Structure 1
Amino acid sequence: MDRSPLRKLQEVQFALVELQLYLDLNPDDQRAVKQYKELTEQLTEAKRQYEKERGPLRQYGNSSSPDRWVWHKTPWPWEIEY
């Protein structure tokens, strides 16, 4: 299944939140720590790719997108089809 870039971001972020909760209770689980690090790298790359193709994800100067003023060109969250 081909996922949209936004969907991929959401999935990786969800997995990271779940792993954070798990690691709060199991901090010595090295397999989970490794998976957390891998997902963190995937999230960083997914954000970079999304912003390159579709514009900034964040505001207040935190976006790495060279074109910061495209908010009016992107859909509102309720307009996105998954």
Structure 2
Amino acid sequence: MNRPKNRKELLNHINQVSFAVDEVKLYLDTHPCDAEALAYFREFSRERNLALKEYARIYGPLTVDTAEDTCTDRWNWINEPWPWQEGGC
């Protein structure tokens, strides 16, 4: 998948792949043996994690899972603009 170039596009991409992951998780709750759905989950989960890490690297973390990669010297992610500030969303 091609990665979005700017902050707004990257947030939009994260929202899209997050939605796909959440929906397929619900499906897998009732269809745990669906190999195609599991592959879809793995693909979009990997894409979501990559996008979250990319966002954290460039703009600061959106989730606590990606905070450790960008806040190694101090807890500075609170100082970054929130996604809804400065036209982030």
Change (3 A) 1:57 1:81: closer
Q: Does 1:47 align with 2:52?
A: yes
| 1:18-57 alignment, distance < 5 Å | 18-57=23-62
Change (3 A) 1:56 1:81: closer
Residue aligned with 1:27, SS: coil
Structure 2 unaligned segments of length 5 or more: list them.
Answer: none
Percent identity over the alignment is: 24
RMSD, aligned CA: 2.5
Q: Which runs of 4+ in 1 moved over 2 A?
A: 70-73, 75-82
Q: TM-score, normalised by structure 1?
A: 0.76
Q: TM-score, normalised by structure 2?
A: 0.71
CA displacement at 1:50 relative to structure 2: 0.4
